[in-house]
Structure 1
Amino acid sequence: MTHTRSLNSLCAAVLGGLALACSIPASAQPAAPSGPGAGPTYADLADLADPADLVIRAEVRRQAQLKPERAPNVRPGYGRLYIEARTVSLIAGNAPIGESIRYLVDVPLDEDGDPPKLKRQEVVLFARTGGRPGEIQLIAPTAQLRWSESLEARLRPILAELAAPDAPPSVTGVRDILSMQGNLAGESETQMFLDTEGDGPVSITVVRRPNMAPVWGVSWTEIVDQAARPPSRDTLAWYRIACFLPQELPREANIAQDSASRYQAAEDFAFVRQSLGPCHRNRN
C-alpha cells in the first residue's frame, strides 16, 4: 500500500507537465474490443500506426492506478494507469527515447474494479514524445497492445508501407463521380475522384462491357488508368479506400446529368464498396 501511494505521488509530480496531464477527452477514446479476447485487425493496427510518431516495444516495470479525481473522462469499466517501463526496442520512429519511459494508459478493470497486473509484460506503444525527457503520450487512451512475435510481424509491413515515399494518401471522401454510357448496350465507364489529405490524386475506374463481368481499379497518380487493378485486401491501399469511403455515395458528388448515368454511377459505387469488403475493426 505504501508503494502504491508513493507511485501515485510520483505520477502527480512527474506527469503534471505531460501533454495528457492525467486527463484524456472522452471523445478521443476508442471503443472496447468487440468480444472477449478479440485481437486487433489490420484496420486496428493501421489506425494506431498511422498517426504515431513512435512505435515502441517496452517492458512494464511499475504501474499505479490514478484516483478518479485525477483521471476524468475515463470510460465506464476502465481505469487510468501511470506506467514506468523499460524500452526494449524502437520499432518505428526517429525521435530519440531513453531506456526508461513513462506514460498514461487506460485499461479495462475486472469485476472488482482492479486493473490487470502488467508488471514484466511486454507491450507495444503507439505514441508521440511528451513534454519532458522520458515521457511519451499515447496517440489514444488505449494505444497499448500486448507484444508478441506475431503481432510485431503483422505490424512491420504496415509501418514499412506508411514510411514509403509513394505511400497512398489518406482518403477523406468522394469529390466527383461521373458515369458515361458507351456505344453498345450495357457498355459504360464510371470514373470517381476521391478527396485526400494533401490533395494527392486518387481515382477509381469501373468499366462494363456487354456479356462480361465489370472490372475496376484504383490509380494513385494523375493519370486515370483503365488498366489499374483493385488493391489487395489488408494492404495500405485497401485500407485507405475500404475504411474511409462512405457507405453510400453522396448525392452531391454524382455529377452525371441524365438519370440513367446517375443510376449507373451509384450502382458502380456500390459495386466497388462490395468488392472491397468490410473494414473490420475490433477497437472501433
Structure 2
Amino acid sequence: MSVAKRTTAWLAMLALWGAGIVGAKADVVPPRAVTARSFADLTALALAAPIVVRATVIKAERLRPRDAPDVTAGMARVLVTATTTAAVAAPDTVPPRLTLLTDVAVDAKGRPPKLSGDDVMLFVRPGATLGEVALVAAQAIVPWTPAVDATVRSVLTAARRGDVPVITGVTSAFRVPGSVPGEAESQFFLATQGGKPVSLVVLTRPGAARRLTIATGDVIDDAAQPVVKDTLLWYRLACGLPSRLPATLAAPGDVADDYRFVLSNLGPCGRTF
C-alpha cells in the first residue's frame, strides 16, 4: 500500500479518537534534545496506554505536504515502522511489526530526525487493523534505557496490584496535641476513587524534624510508613493532592502549615504534559 493510501486510512482512524488523549492529528514528537521523561511523565504514559512495548524503529517515511496539509510549520509527518522487541503490557499478543503516524520537529534545513535504528518505548493503543497503533500522547515515544524500562515495569506492577488508589482530594484535617509541650500530630484524610481509606500523618516532636507517614487502612497506628519517592503511591499523592487545603475545612494555621509541609516533603509532581 502506498504511503498516501496508508495516510488516508490513518487519518480516518485518528479522527474517530479525537475526543481521547490522542488527538485527530498525528502526535507530535518534541525535538530530539527534549527526550528525557520524568518519573511522573512515564507513569502517566504507562497508566494511559493499553499497550506498552519496547521496539526498534526500522523505517520512518516522511509524508508529502499534500498528504499532511495540517502539519504545523517546523514539523514533518512521518509514518514510522518498528519491530517489537518486548511487550511490557498488552491485552493480547503484540504483532512483530507496528506502524504509527507521528509529527516530528525538523532541523534548520527542514529535515526530520533520522529515527531508523532508534530503540524506543512506545505507549500506544490499537488501531483499526492488525499492527496499526496510535500514541496515547504526543510524548509517547520515549528513548529506551534500562532505567526507563525498570520504571515503567514497576509502575505497571503496582497498578496491577490495585492497592494504590487515585487521590482526588482532602476530606478532613485536624491536629491533636501530644503528651509533652511542642508535640502534636496532624492527620489529613484523603478522598480516593473507590473510597479506599488513605490518610497522611504529620508528627511534630521537640528537637526532631517533622515526619510524614501514610496509612492506607481504617486504623492509623505505628505501622504507618514514610512515602517513598518515585513510586506509584508518591505519584498519586504528589500529582493528585490540591495545592492548598479546601477552604471548606476551615483548618487552623498550624494544620495548614503541616499541609504545606506535606507538599514540600513530597516535592513537585514533575509532570510536563
SS across alignment from 1:18: helix
Matched, 1:15 2:10: yes
Q: Deviations over 1:9-66 (max 9, x none)?
A: 3222x31442456975499989958x94552221221121111111111222332334
Matched, 1:274 2:270: no
Alignment of 1:54-203 (within 5 A): 54-66=51-63, 67=65, 70=68, 72=70, 77-166=74-163, 168-182=164-178, 184-203=180-199
Gaps of 5+ in 2: none
**47, 52, 55: which is aligned to 1:50?**
47
> 2: distance between equivalents of 1:19 and 1:7?
16
Alignment of 1:207-246 (within 5 A): 207-246=203-242
SS across alignment from 2:194: helix
Classify 1:278/1:27 alpha carbon distance in 2 versus 1 (closer, same or farther; 3 Å).
farther
> 2: distance between equivalents of 1:99 and 1:43?
29
> 2: distance between equivalents of 1:144 and 1:138?
8
SS across alignment from 2:259: helix
**30, 36, 40: which is aligned to 2:37?**
40
SS across alignment from 2:137: coil
> 2: distance between equivalents of 1:274 and 1:27?
38
Q: Deviations over 1:102-149 (max 9, x none)?
A: 222232222233221212322211012223222222111231112233
Classify 1:159/1:271 alpha carbon distance in 2 versus 1 (closer, same or farther; 3 Å).
same
> 2: distance between equivalents of 1:225 and 1:68?
65
Equivalent residue pairs, number: 269
Task: Return the offset for 1:243.
Answer: 2.5
> 1: distance between equivalents of 2:25 and 2:118?
29
Letter in 1 for 2:5: S
TM-score, scaled to structure 1: 0.80
Cα RMSD (Å): 3.2
Is the Cα–Cα contact under 8 Å of residues 30 and 104 in structure 2 kept in the other structure?
Answer: no
Letter in 1 for 2:54: R
**Residue number in structure 2 paired with 1:259:** none
Identity of aligned residues (%): 34
Is the Cα–Cα contact under 8 Å of residues 56 and 87 in structure 1 kept in the other structure?
Answer: yes
Is the Cα–Cα contact under 8 Å of residues 102 and 136 in structure 1 kept in the other structure?
Answer: yes
Letter in 2 for 1:93: A
Classify 1:209/1:30 alpha carbon distance in 2 versus 1 (closer, same or farther; 3 Å).
farther
> 1: distance between equivalents of 2:226 and 2:73?
41
Task: Return the offset for 1:217.
Answer: 0.6
Classify 1:223/1:129 alpha carbon distance in 2 versus 1 (closer, same or farther; 3 Å).
farther
Q: Deviations over 1:42-91 (max 9, x none)?
A: 1221121111111111222332334387464x666444322222222211
Task: Return the offset for 1:163.
Answer: 2.1
Is the Cα–Cα contact under 8 Å of residues 100 and 132 in structure 2 kept in the other structure?
Answer: yes
SS across alignment from 2:5: helix
Task: Return the offset for 1:155.
Answer: 2.8
